[in-house]
A and B are shown apart, each in its own frame.
Chain A
Amino acid sequence: MKDNNIALEGRADLVTLQFAGRAGEYFSIWIVNLCLSIVTLGIYSAWAKVRRKRYFYGNTLLQGAAFDYLADPRTILKGRLIVVAAFIVYSIAEQLLPMAALGLIVLFLLAFPWLAVRALRFNARSSAHRAVRFGFRGGYGEMWRSVGIPAILVPFTLGLAFPWFLYRRDRFVIENSKYGATPFAFHATARDYYLASLKVFAAGLGFLAGSIATFGIGAVPLYLLVRSYAIAVMARLKWDCTALSEIRFRCEWSTGGLFKLYFVNALGLLLSLGLLVPWAAIRTARYKLEHLALYPGTAIGGFLASAEAQVAAVGEEAGELLGFDFGL
């Protein structure tokens, strides 16, 4: 990590994201939309997804201004129908013609980068802040060169290429993302990723030793601890090396904070048989967003207020044909 001079600038200049979602309120939104999704045999799930995301985006505030999710549910439905059709073809082929299923897997591996690029673009184009949309300009070929090849190399190098793959992946996503017309910048190096991965690897060895020393009893909490450590280290590295014009990011996810978050979430989900999913989602969003800050504050105001710098990207495909999306 170069020129990380946050300590000199002090905390006064940090502008933290705020999250205003509430578990009780979100619970009834979640259950009503889940119920409608099931009653309509999954058709409504695209609308439910948009509503859910609008709730989270609309409650995420930067200097009092909310984020906005603008995806058209019909586009998401089309993407989902295609994925579902592919799944049906695959699961039938898997049981009837194992050889054909193998061919389908190869086909899927080839199509996956394309799907991922579409999903990144769709998600970015569907997200907005202050009426200016985010964007993504990465292409399929670049995805292969930047991320696909490192991913293929990972098994052949016995995993030694894995940190390099993570570095290329993060760089591809961040450098191709933009807010309005302004691209994000990424200044981490592969060396940073190798150092961070080494730390995570050492923690993994600690997990193995600890699990053996406690005869397996400590394996689950230790796993959560190491996982929290890995997520915190990699996220801090990624965000601290990201910039948007002269705005920098400061990620303050800590191992202890994430561990407490995940541990309490897991406990709640287990004891409630999954009913506390909305509560866990709100807690996770609150922790992750409220421990992410932008600085320096003066630059944020200036950047967002300057009319010329962030002209909304016009002419880019206004409506995606298909909405592929993974996860929340």
Chain B
Amino acid sequence: MTVAASYYDGSSSARHLVQVDCPQPGWIRITGQGIQTQWPLSKVRIPSRIGDAARVLYFPDGSQCETRDHDGVERLLASQQKPSGWSLHRLERSLAYAGAALALTATCIWAIVVYGIPTLAKEVAFRLPPSTEKSIATDGLRALDQALLRPSTLPPDRQAALRALFADVTSDHPDKAGYRLEFRAGGPIGANALALPGSLVVLTDELVKLAQNDAEISAVLAHEAGHLRQRHALRSLLQNSAAALFVAVAIGDLTSITSLAAGLPTLLLQLKYSREFENEADESALAYLQARGIPAGHFAALITRLGAAHGAGASGIHYLSTHPAAAERAARALEKRSSRGVR
């Protein structure tokens, strides 16, 4: 049993037509014009087959044999009972395995992105002490101050009153010692409240003015405190980096054709994550209001007014762009109230 192959000696590109066979068990012999060598089969490197791409046998001295006679090579190896072992080629040539791989790939991408990464990010975020975010908070606020925010014009006694309100809202939070409330004039971002990394809440003057009473402001503070308690800033940071990384490694690996599409899923993810976090924060706000016996309608009213204010004076930055629709949130808040009323 012989296999026709091209032989290259490894030091020149000259091609020699040869026959490859196994004259005795465990040996491979190359015979051609002026060529007569043999190697123990165990010393020959034979990478697993990939489709019908040329098959190469690499010999220890750098020479090699190249052939496209795949059946011949298989028969030769089979006759030597060389354990071909676990071969990827077996998976690759089967339609059933390809179908299974396709289904598994789709399922894995979905599960990792929707469950795996958020869970991992949550674990990591809660393990890190709140102090890790401290320096981030200062830098983040400084950047915001330079780009968007202006000093607050609220009178000091009003600020003190709101800080006291914030302390009341966060009185049952385990990490409340590190929490900070800052006041700024919102400028282009208008009536707004931000929860920044490092347990920092920024409240804009416009929001304070938009609120009709302190119950409404306490609802907003409870919402932002919910972000702090759930470590949303750090979690979304971790999630977005990990998701972008995963998509880049898994999908960006294909070809440059798809690199454009690789950015898209992460973009959609960011939107979805934010919505989930907003809902979680809304939950904490409603829980706080319930505990204090404040009607949830205050929260709904402020959300509706915020939606109207931002919808009317759209100024480049949309407070609600990553938030669930204002009407939807208000409806949920009211729904909570009615279900509580029954109880």
Contacts and interface: CB of A to CB of B under 8 A. Distances in A.
A131 B255 contact: no
Interface string A44-71: 0100110100111111010011101000
Contacts of A32: 88, 91-92, 97-98, 101
Contacts of A21: 51, 53
A66 B10 contact: no
B64 interface: yes
Interface in B243-287: 244-246, 248-250, 253-258, 261
Given A28-B94, A34-B105, A98 B139 contact: yes
Contacts of A265: 257
Given A131-B62, A131-B63, A88 B136 contact: no
A312 B50 contact: no
A51 B88 contact: yes
Given A34-B101, A37-B250, A88-B245, A28 B95 contact: yes
B10 A312 contact: yes
B118 interface: no
B13 interface: yes
Interface string B93-132: 1110110011011001100100000000000000000000
A305 B63 CA distance: 15
Contact of A91 (B8, B241, B249): B241
A264 interface: no
B9 interface: yes
B53 A55 contact: yes
A42 B104 CA distance: 15
Contacts of B12: 132, 180, 306-308, 310-312
Nearest to B116: A41
Contacts of B62: 131, 312
A65 B6 contact: yes
A103 to B, nearest CB: 13
A281 interface: yes
Contacts of A97: 135-136, 139
Interface in A164-203: 180
B101 A35 contact: yes
A143 to B, nearest CB: 22
B182 interface: no
Nearest to B63: A131
B143 A305 contact: no
Interface string A304-328: 1111101110000000000000011
A52 B63 CA distance: 24
A48 B105 CA distance: 14
A132 B36 CA distance: 21
Nearest to A80: B249
A84 interface: yes
A31 B91 CA distance: 10
A58 B101 contact: no
A205 interface: no
A112 interface: no
Interface string B38-71: 0000000001001111111000001110101000
Interface in B136-159: 136, 139-140, 143
A97 B13 CA distance: 55
Interface residues of B, number: 59
Chain A: interface size category: 35 or more
A38 B98 contact: no
A35 B13 contact: no
A280 interface: yes
Which of B56, B135, B241, B254 has the largest number of chain A CB atoms within 10 A? B254
A269 B257 CA distance: 9
Contact of B66 (A48, A66, A304): A66
A91 B51 contact: no
Contact of B50 (A29, A45, A129, A131): A29
A88 B248 CA distance: 12
A275 to B, nearest CB: 8
B54 A58 contact: yes
A83 B56 CA distance: 32
B177 interface: no
Contact of A49 (B53, B108, B248, B253): B253
Interface in B295-325: none
Nearest to A277: B254
A132 B10 CA distance: 6
Given A34-B105, A265-B257, A307-B12, A27 B197 contact: no
A316 to B, nearest CB: 14
B11 interface: yes
Contacts of B94: 28
27 contacts: A28-B94, A28-B98, A31-B102, A32-B97, A34-B105, A35-B108, A37-B249, A37-B250, A38-B105, A42-B253, A45-B253, A54-B50, A55-B50, A59-B52, A59-B54, A64-B6, A65-B15, A66-B53, A66-B66, A68-B66, A99-B139, A130-B8, A131-B8, A131-B10, A277-B254, A311-B12, A327-B256
Given A25-B93, A274-B258, A305-B15, 20 more contacts: A21-B53, A30-B254, A31-B101, A34-B253, A36-B101, A37-B253, A38-B112, A54-B50, A55-B53, A65-B66, A84-B249, A87-B245, A88-B245, A96-B197, A130-B6, A130-B13, A277-B257, A311-B11, A312-B11, A312-B12
What 3 A-B pairs come out closest when comparing CB atoms? A58-B53, A66-B54, A131-B8
Interface of A: 20-22, 25-39, 41-42, 45, 48-49, 51, 54-59, 61, 64-66, 68, 80, 84, 87-88, 91-92, 95-99, 129-132, 180, 265, 269, 274, 277, 280-281, 304-308, 310-312, 327-328
